Amino acid sequence: MESNILKTKGKRFIAFIYDLAFIILLSFILFMAFGLIFKIDSVSYQNFIIFPLVISIALYAFFGELFFKNTLGKYLSGIEIVTNGSAQGIPIKNYLRRGLLKIIFPFEGVVLLLSRKGKRLGDIWAHTSVVNKQSNSLNPYTRVFAGILAIIILIILFRIMMGMAVKKSDFYNIGINHLKTNNLGNTTGFVKVVDQSRNKVNFIVPISNDNNDKYAIIQLVRSGDEWVVSNTQFSKEHISGFSYGFSF
Protein backbone atom coordinates (compact mmCIF):
# COMPACT_ATOMS: atom_id res chain seq x y z
CA MET A 1 0.00 0.00 0.00
CA GLU A 2 2.72 2.47 1.00
CA SER A 3 4.74 1.86 -2.18
CA ASN A 4 1.57 2.41 -4.20
CA ILE A 5 1.07 5.80 -2.49
CA LEU A 6 4.67 6.87 -3.16
CA LYS A 7 4.26 6.15 -6.85
CA THR A 8 1.46 8.72 -7.16
CA LYS A 9 3.50 11.84 -6.26
CA GLY A 10 4.19 12.91 -9.83
CA LYS A 11 0.71 11.95 -10.99
CA ARG A 12 -0.87 14.08 -8.26
CA PHE A 13 1.09 17.15 -9.35
CA ILE A 14 0.14 16.63 -13.00
CA ALA A 15 -3.51 16.06 -12.05
CA PHE A 16 -3.65 19.29 -10.01
CA ILE A 17 -2.13 21.37 -12.82
CA TYR A 18 -4.50 19.79 -15.34
CA ASP A 19 -7.54 20.43 -13.15
CA LEU A 20 -6.52 24.06 -12.64
CA ALA A 21 -5.99 24.62 -16.38
CA PHE A 22 -9.29 22.91 -17.19
CA ILE A 23 -11.43 24.95 -14.81
CA ILE A 24 -9.73 28.26 -15.72
CA LEU A 25 -10.38 27.64 -19.42
CA LEU A 26 -13.95 26.61 -18.72
CA SER A 27 -14.50 29.73 -16.59
CA PHE A 28 -13.19 32.03 -19.33
CA ILE A 29 -15.52 30.36 -21.82
CA LEU A 30 -18.42 31.11 -19.47
CA PHE A 31 -17.10 34.67 -19.14
CA MET A 32 -17.35 35.09 -22.90
CA ALA A 33 -20.70 33.28 -23.12
CA PHE A 34 -22.26 35.69 -20.64
CA GLY A 35 -20.55 38.50 -22.56
CA LEU A 36 -22.75 37.65 -25.53
CA ILE A 37 -25.73 38.61 -23.38
CA PHE A 38 -24.46 41.49 -21.25
CA LYS A 39 -21.45 42.83 -23.29
CA ILE A 40 -17.94 42.32 -21.91
CA ASP A 41 -17.26 46.07 -21.72
CA SER A 42 -20.31 46.83 -19.59
CA VAL A 43 -19.23 48.19 -16.19
CA SER A 44 -22.05 46.39 -14.37
CA TYR A 45 -21.06 43.11 -16.08
CA GLN A 46 -17.39 43.55 -15.13
CA ASN A 47 -18.35 44.26 -11.52
CA PHE A 48 -20.49 41.12 -11.32
CA ILE A 49 -18.81 38.43 -13.41
CA ILE A 50 -15.43 38.37 -11.64
CA PHE A 51 -16.98 36.96 -8.45
CA PRO A 52 -18.69 33.83 -9.88
CA LEU A 53 -15.57 33.13 -11.94
CA VAL A 54 -13.25 33.26 -8.92
CA ILE A 55 -15.70 31.26 -6.81
CA SER A 56 -16.11 28.54 -9.47
CA ILE A 57 -12.34 28.18 -9.89
CA ALA A 58 -11.78 28.04 -6.12
CA LEU A 59 -14.59 25.55 -5.52
CA TYR A 60 -13.36 23.14 -8.17
CA ALA A 61 -9.67 23.48 -7.30
CA PHE A 62 -10.16 23.08 -3.56
CA PHE A 63 -13.39 21.12 -3.23
CA GLY A 64 -13.85 19.34 -6.58
CA GLU A 65 -13.25 16.02 -4.88
CA LEU A 66 -16.22 16.67 -2.58
CA PHE A 67 -18.61 17.23 -5.49
CA PHE A 68 -17.34 14.58 -7.91
CA LYS A 69 -15.58 12.13 -5.52
CA ASN A 70 -12.56 12.45 -7.80
CA THR A 71 -11.33 15.16 -10.14
CA LEU A 72 -10.96 14.90 -13.90
CA GLY A 73 -7.20 15.30 -13.57
CA LYS A 74 -6.96 12.41 -11.09
CA TYR A 75 -9.11 10.18 -13.27
CA LEU A 76 -6.99 10.88 -16.34
CA SER A 77 -3.84 10.24 -14.28
CA GLY A 78 -5.21 6.91 -13.09
CA ILE A 79 -5.31 7.74 -9.37
CA GLU A 80 -8.05 7.93 -6.77
CA ILE A 81 -8.66 8.87 -3.14
CA VAL A 82 -9.22 6.15 -0.53
CA THR A 83 -9.77 6.13 3.21
CA ASN A 84 -6.94 4.73 5.29
CA GLY A 85 -7.71 1.22 6.48
CA SER A 86 -11.34 1.23 5.32
CA ALA A 87 -13.23 0.04 2.28
CA GLN A 88 -16.16 2.34 3.03
CA GLY A 89 -16.85 5.64 1.30
CA ILE A 90 -15.03 8.79 2.36
CA PRO A 91 -17.06 11.00 4.75
CA ILE A 92 -17.87 14.55 3.63
CA LYS A 93 -15.84 16.04 6.49
CA ASN A 94 -12.74 14.26 5.20
CA TYR A 95 -13.21 15.76 1.73
CA LEU A 96 -13.62 19.17 3.36
CA ARG A 97 -10.40 18.76 5.33
CA ARG A 98 -8.49 17.82 2.18
CA GLY A 99 -9.92 20.79 0.31
CA LEU A 100 -9.32 23.34 3.05
CA LEU A 101 -5.62 22.61 3.24
CA LYS A 102 -5.28 22.89 -0.55
CA ILE A 103 -5.63 26.64 0.01
CA ILE A 104 -1.96 26.59 1.03
CA PHE A 105 -1.16 24.43 -2.00
CA PRO A 106 2.38 25.78 -2.60
CA PHE A 107 3.34 24.67 0.91
CA GLU A 108 1.33 21.46 0.59
CA GLY A 109 3.20 20.67 -2.63
CA VAL A 110 6.53 20.99 -0.84
CA VAL A 111 5.27 18.79 2.00
CA LEU A 112 4.13 16.15 -0.50
CA LEU A 113 7.46 16.11 -2.33
CA LEU A 114 9.47 15.83 0.90
CA SER A 115 7.17 13.35 2.61
CA ARG A 116 8.58 9.84 2.96
CA LYS A 117 5.03 8.47 3.04
CA GLY A 118 3.88 10.39 -0.04
CA LYS A 119 1.26 12.40 1.83
CA ARG A 120 0.51 16.07 2.24
CA LEU A 121 -1.00 17.59 5.38
CA GLY A 122 -4.50 17.33 3.94
CA ASP A 123 -4.08 13.57 3.55
CA ILE A 124 -2.94 13.23 7.15
CA TRP A 125 -5.74 15.38 8.57
CA ALA A 126 -8.43 13.69 6.47
CA HIS A 127 -7.06 10.15 7.03
CA THR A 128 -6.99 9.55 3.28
CA SER A 129 -4.47 8.42 0.69
CA VAL A 130 -4.14 8.86 -3.05
CA VAL A 131 -3.36 5.57 -4.77
CA ASN A 132 -3.21 4.11 -8.26
CA LYS A 133 -6.62 2.84 -9.37
CA GLN A 134 -6.86 -0.92 -9.61
CA SER A 135 -8.87 -0.72 -12.82
CA ASN A 136 -9.90 1.94 -15.33
CA SER A 137 -12.48 1.87 -18.08
CA LEU A 138 -9.90 3.47 -20.42
CA ASN A 139 -6.25 2.50 -20.90
CA PRO A 140 -3.52 5.08 -20.04
CA TYR A 141 -2.87 6.14 -23.64
CA THR A 142 -6.56 6.71 -24.28
CA ARG A 143 -6.87 8.76 -21.08
CA VAL A 144 -3.86 10.93 -22.02
CA PHE A 145 -5.29 11.47 -25.50
CA ALA A 146 -8.73 12.32 -24.06
CA GLY A 147 -7.21 14.81 -21.61
CA ILE A 148 -5.19 16.60 -24.30
CA LEU A 149 -8.16 16.60 -26.67
CA ALA A 150 -10.40 18.13 -23.99
CA ILE A 151 -7.96 21.02 -23.46
CA ILE A 152 -7.64 21.60 -27.22
CA ILE A 153 -11.42 21.68 -27.61
CA LEU A 154 -11.73 24.19 -24.75
CA ILE A 155 -9.06 26.43 -26.31
CA ILE A 156 -10.81 26.37 -29.69
CA LEU A 157 -14.17 27.01 -28.04
CA PHE A 158 -12.71 29.91 -26.06
CA ARG A 159 -11.26 31.37 -29.28
CA ILE A 160 -14.66 31.26 -30.97
CA MET A 161 -16.53 32.63 -27.94
CA MET A 162 -13.93 35.38 -27.48
CA GLY A 163 -14.34 36.50 -31.09
CA MET A 164 -18.13 36.55 -30.82
CA ALA A 165 -18.21 38.34 -27.46
CA VAL A 166 -15.70 41.00 -28.53
CA LYS A 167 -17.66 41.66 -31.74
CA LYS A 168 -20.71 42.41 -29.62
CA SER A 169 -18.88 44.94 -27.41
CA ASP A 170 -19.26 48.69 -27.87
CA PHE A 171 -15.51 49.34 -28.02
CA TYR A 172 -15.08 46.90 -30.92
CA ASN A 173 -17.88 48.37 -33.00
CA ILE A 174 -16.71 51.94 -32.40
CA GLY A 175 -13.14 50.98 -33.32
CA ILE A 176 -14.20 49.18 -36.50
CA ASN A 177 -16.48 52.06 -37.52
CA HIS A 178 -13.50 54.36 -37.05
CA LEU A 179 -11.50 52.27 -39.54
CA LYS A 180 -14.30 52.23 -42.10
CA THR A 181 -15.19 55.93 -41.77
CA ASN A 182 -11.58 56.97 -42.32
CA ASN A 183 -10.95 54.39 -45.06
CA LEU A 184 -8.19 52.77 -43.00
CA GLY A 185 -9.06 49.18 -43.86
CA ASN A 186 -11.59 46.36 -43.59
CA THR A 187 -11.50 43.57 -41.02
CA THR A 188 -10.69 40.09 -42.28
CA GLY A 189 -11.25 37.95 -39.17
CA PHE A 190 -11.69 37.70 -35.42
CA VAL A 191 -9.82 40.04 -33.11
CA LYS A 192 -6.39 38.66 -32.17
CA VAL A 193 -5.51 40.46 -28.93
CA VAL A 194 -7.62 42.32 -26.39
CA ASP A 195 -6.26 44.16 -23.36
CA GLN A 196 -9.26 45.52 -21.50
CA SER A 197 -9.64 47.56 -18.32
CA ARG A 198 -12.48 49.66 -16.99
CA ASN A 199 -11.75 52.87 -18.90
CA LYS A 200 -9.14 51.80 -21.46
CA VAL A 201 -8.93 49.08 -24.04
CA ASN A 202 -6.50 48.08 -26.79
CA PHE A 203 -7.36 45.49 -29.39
CA ILE A 204 -5.65 44.13 -32.49
CA VAL A 205 -7.71 43.00 -35.44
CA PRO A 206 -6.61 41.59 -38.84
CA ILE A 207 -7.35 43.95 -41.74
CA SER A 208 -6.74 44.51 -45.43
CA ASN A 209 -5.93 47.95 -46.86
CA ASP A 210 -3.99 49.67 -49.63
CA ASN A 211 -0.78 49.66 -47.55
CA ASN A 212 -0.85 45.87 -47.21
CA ASP A 213 -1.04 46.17 -43.42
CA LYS A 214 -1.94 42.93 -41.67
CA TYR A 215 -3.28 44.32 -38.40
CA ALA A 216 -4.83 47.45 -36.95
CA ILE A 217 -4.00 48.28 -33.33
CA ILE A 218 -6.83 50.37 -31.94
CA GLN A 219 -6.72 52.11 -28.56
CA LEU A 220 -9.86 53.52 -26.96
CA VAL A 221 -10.73 55.34 -23.74
CA ARG A 222 -14.10 55.59 -22.07
CA SER A 223 -15.48 59.11 -21.94
CA GLY A 224 -18.60 59.06 -19.78
CA ASP A 225 -20.66 56.18 -21.14
CA GLU A 226 -19.03 56.18 -24.58
CA TRP A 227 -15.81 54.75 -26.00
CA VAL A 228 -13.61 57.13 -27.97
CA VAL A 229 -10.72 56.11 -30.25
CA SER A 230 -7.52 57.66 -28.87
CA ASN A 231 -4.93 56.14 -31.20
CA THR A 232 -4.68 53.84 -34.22
CA GLN A 233 -1.54 52.07 -35.42
CA PHE A 234 -0.84 49.45 -38.05
CA SER A 235 1.47 46.45 -38.28
CA LYS A 236 2.73 44.34 -41.16
CA GLU A 237 4.22 41.70 -38.84
CA HIS A 238 2.34 38.46 -38.37
CA ILE A 239 0.80 37.83 -34.94
CA SER A 240 0.44 34.17 -33.99
CA GLY A 241 -2.05 32.97 -31.40
CA PHE A 242 -4.59 35.08 -29.57
CA SER A 243 -5.03 36.50 -26.08
CA TYR A 244 -7.53 38.25 -23.86
CA GLY A 245 -6.46 40.30 -20.85
CA PHE A 246 -8.65 42.02 -18.31
CA SER A 247 -7.68 44.16 -15.35
CA PHE A 248 -9.31 46.61 -13.01
The pLDDT assigned to 9 comes to 78
CB 82 within 8 A of CB 98: no
The pLDDT assigned to 68 comes to 78
Q: Rounded to two decimals, what is the model's pTM?
A: 0.81
* Alpha carbon distance 189, 187 (integer Å): 6
Render each residue's pLDDT in the chain as its tens digit; 248 residues.
555 555 677 888 888 889 889 988 998 898 898 888 888 888 778 778 878 888 888 888 788 888 877 888 888 988 888 887 665 678 888 888 888 888 887 788 788 877 877 788 888 898 888 888 877 777 888 999 999 999 999 999 999 999 999 999 999 999 999 999 999 989 998 999 999 887 899 999 999 988 889 999 999 999 888 999 999 999 999 988 899 988 76
CB 146 within 8 A of CB 16: no
User: Which residue ranges form the domains of the chain, and what is each CATH number?
Assistant: 2-159 (no CATH), 169-246 (3.10.450)
Enumerate the β-bridge partners of residue 131.
80
